[in-house]
Amino acid sequence: MRAEGIETVRRILCVFPRYTSSFGTFEYSYPLTDGVQAFMPPQGLLVIAAYLPANWQVRFIDENIRSAGAADFEWAEAVFVSGMHIQRQQMNDICRRAHAFDLAVAIGGPSVSACPEYYPSFDYLHVGELGDATNDLIARLARDPSRPEQQVVLKTADRLDMTKFPIPAYELADIKRYFLGSIQYSSGCPYQCEFCDIPGLYGRNPRLKTPQQITTELDRLLECGITGSVYFVDDNFIGNRKAALELLPHLIEWQKKTGYVLRFSCEATLNIAKRPEILSGMREAFFGTIFCGIETPDPVALKAMHKDHNMMVPIMEAIKTLNSFGMEVVSGIILGLDTDKPETGQHLLEFIDASQIPLLTINLLQALPQTPLWDRLKRENRLIEDEGRDSNVDFRLPYDDVVRTWRACMNDAYQPGKLLERYEYQIRETYPHRVTPPSSREQRSWRNIKLGLTMLRNIFWKVGVLGDYKREFWKFAWRRLARGEIEYLISSILVAHHLILYARAASVGEQNASNYSIRLREASVPAE
């Protein structure tokens, strides 16, 4: 649904800020693709864009693709911005640029909802999710789009039911320029891991869209030109297991109808390994990757962070179970926990070898506002406000030792030979368990063939000829070519190339040790 009952017409410029270069945004892979420039379409801002009154004009700019320029600000009557903590400086910069044109600027999304005090210059703070605060903001701008005399804070008390959410305005985004598609089925998570702000921000009782909303959104994404993979950005895909089970038959039916042109991925807790009925449905629906916040292989640490649910099934067994349903596991890992010891880095590397997980996002612990961790560290006087550090936590171990361990782990885990061996394992042990999509007209389309050929050409030239890990690349590539595994060659190298280059920069101190670090470096994604 949209906001209704507004007669006045307004022009709203929605601007999504650039990302700081990070492990999870894959920018080193973009040159291997057919023109990808950004990671995922931002759900929140596109939902708000779709919710605005039907007669309002909306322009959407993702600054990872191009910067909002003078012509955009001159066109607009007000500006909307949204983003995460890591984009804080960029959001404040957009505000500054919009104010140069005397425009009112509103900010919403996860960062301002958790920390309104980060954004003193904005005219409107939209705290919380889509709901009564959004209606209030729209009504105020309809009455008067000029800048209010002082900052106005609007807090959502009554959230819009997710079954009433409009389809995100994907048509405003240049979908073909994104590395992955994104979609959201649910919001919230029933668990309470000490470091996580999701339960505080979005609640412990997951709220849901309907399966029909999801299949309609998928149709829209296809119409907008999406190819490859679509990521369910839900905080925990099995936050409500019954709902996940209800959705899967609809996804399977949609895949059959459309010819399995898209592959899905999602985030879920590792105890999904106890649910073969869900895994089996996910396999049929063509889920190929599942992100699990394993955090640490150390049971004592898991207990201390209240993540006991990761131990419902022994971790290694759970990973093998997911692999046996054709799903590659991606793992989040945290270093700098109170339980860490000098040998923690070595244990992590042993875990990586044993699990054969190719992609692990290894971050330093960061205390986010509105988390139990923040409250505890504040009580213990262990929060450090220092923009020169990669974490705001006063670790038990010396800070330099923790950062050194992080760099050493990044350097070792992402040596090209080791990483490609882990992909070799996945190709042998995981991918064969996936469904084999029927050969469809869509898959054989000239557009798909051209896309594959372009990526192959880029990979051979930029990695196989110009790259500096040619020996490891060709050892991996010849095997794929000999076995006709072209798709695996493309998908593995596309991700591996980013990991190798990013880890190399990280191990010599050229990247942040935390995705949440406020120590912001220049993003390497070019904006026009």
CB of 516 to ligand SF4, least distance (A): 13
Whichever of 174 and 295 has its CB closer to ligand SF4, that residue is 295
Among candidate residues 389, 347, 382, the one with its CA nearest the CA of residue 364: 389
Among 80, 178, 191, 406, interactor with ligand SF4 by CB under 6 A? 191
Cβ neighbour number for residue 342 with a 10 Å cutoff: 9
Give how far the C-alpha of residue 425 lies from the chain's centroid of Cα atoms, to the nearest Å.
Answer: 25
CA dist., res. 394 & res. 386, Å (int): 11
Whichever of 198 and 218 has its CB closer to ligand SF4, that residue is 198
Q: In angstroms, how far is the first alpha carbon of the chain from the final one?
A: 34
Q: CA dist 436 to 115, 255, 403, 448, 509, Å?
A: 46, 12, 43, 17, 42
Among 269, 363, 392, 458, interactor with ligand SF4 by CB under 6 A? 269
Q: Are strands 287-295 and 181-183 parallel, antiparallel or unpaired?
A: unpaired
Q: How many CA atoms lie within 13 A of 175 on its CB side?
A: 22
CB of 24 to ligand SF4, least distance (A): 15
Candidates 77-85, 186-194, 412-420, 494-502: pick the segment binding ligand SF4 (CB under 6 A): 186-194
CB of 271 to ligand SF4, least distance (A): 9
Whichever of 145 and 200 has its CB closer to ligand SF4, that residue is 200
Angle, CA of 283, 285 and 291, to the nearest 5°: 65
Whichever of 198 and 315 has its CB closer to ligand SF4, that residue is 198
Candidates 184-192, 224-232, 314-322, 416-424: pick the segment binding ligand SF4 (CB under 6 A): 184-192
Strand partners, 106: 80, 124
Q: CA dist 411 to 77, 455, 475, Å?
A: 48, 27, 21
Among 86, 95, 141, 196, interactor with ligand SF4 by CB under 6 A? 196
CA dist., res. 508 & res. 502, Å (int): 10
Whichever of 196 and 221 has its CB closer to ligand SF4, that residue is 196
Q: How many CA atoms lie within 13 A of 342 on its CB side?
A: 0
CA dist., res. 472 & res. 464, Å (int): 9
Whichever of 53 and 206 has its CB closer to ligand SF4, that residue is 206
Among 128, 166, 199, 345, interactor with ligand SF4 by CB under 6 A? 199
Whichever of 92 and 192 has its CB closer to ligand SF4, that residue is 192
Among 21, 29, 87, 236, interactor with ligand SF4 by CB under 6 A? 236
CB of 98 to ligand SF4, least distance (A): 33
CB of 357 to ligand SF4, least distance (A): 17
The two three-digit tokens of residue 123, written as one number: 């005219």
Among 76, 78, 193, 463, interactor with ligand SF4 by CB under 6 A? 193
Candidates 187-195, 217-225, 352-360, 390-398: pick the segment binding ligand SF4 (CB under 6 A): 187-195
The enclosing H or E element of 125 equals strand 124-127
Among 47, 50, 114, 198, interactor with ligand SF4 by CB under 6 A? 198
Count of residues near ligand SF4 by CB under 6 A = 11
Query: Which amino acid is residue 503, in one-letter code?
Result: A
Among candidate residues 187, 285, 269, 270, the one with its CA nearest the CA of residue 229: 285
Whichever of 269 and 517 has its CB closer to ligand SF4, that residue is 269
Whichever of 81 and 330 has its CB closer to ligand SF4, that residue is 330
Q: Is 12 helix (H, G, I), strand (E, B) or coil?
A: strand
Whichever of 217 and 267 has its CB closer to ligand SF4, that residue is 267
Angle, CA of 16, 17 and 21, to the nearest 5°: 130
Binders of ligand SF4 among residues 274 to 293 (CB under 6 A) are: 293
Q: Are strands 104-108 and 57-62 parallel, antiparallel or unpaired?
A: unpaired
Candidates 21-29, 62-70, 189-197, 505-513: pick the segment binding ligand SF4 (CB under 6 A): 189-197
Q: Is 138 helix (H, G, I), strand (E, B) or coil?
A: helix
Binders of ligand SF4 among residues 49 to 68 (CB under 6 A) are: none
Among 27, 235, 338, 340, interactor with ligand SF4 by CB under 6 A? 235
Among candidate residues 100, 105, 92, 143, the one with its CA nearest the CA of residue 12: 105
Complete edge-to-edge strand list for the sheet that includes strand 360-364: 181-183, 228-232, 262-267, 287-295, 328-335, 360-364
CB of 281 to ligand SF4, least distance (A): 21
Whichever of 226 and 318 has its CB closer to ligand SF4, that residue is 318
Among 50, 61, 189, 335, interactor with ligand SF4 by CB under 6 A? 189
Candidates 26-34, 87-95, 192-200, 365-373: pick the segment binding ligand SF4 (CB under 6 A): 192-200
Is 344 a residue that touches ligand SF4 (CB under 6 A)?
A: no
CA dist., res. 329 & res. 313, Å (int): 15
Whichever of 239 and 326 has its CB closer to ligand SF4, that residue is 239
CB of 195 to ligand SF4, least distance (A): 7
Candidates 106-114, 185-193, 315-323, 422-430: pick the segment binding ligand SF4 (CB under 6 A): 185-193
Whichever of 159 and 306 has its CB closer to ligand SF4, that residue is 306
CA dist., res. 485 & res. 264, Å (int): 20
**Binding residues vs ligand SF4 (CB under 6 A):** 189, 191-193, 196, 198-199, 235-236, 269, 293
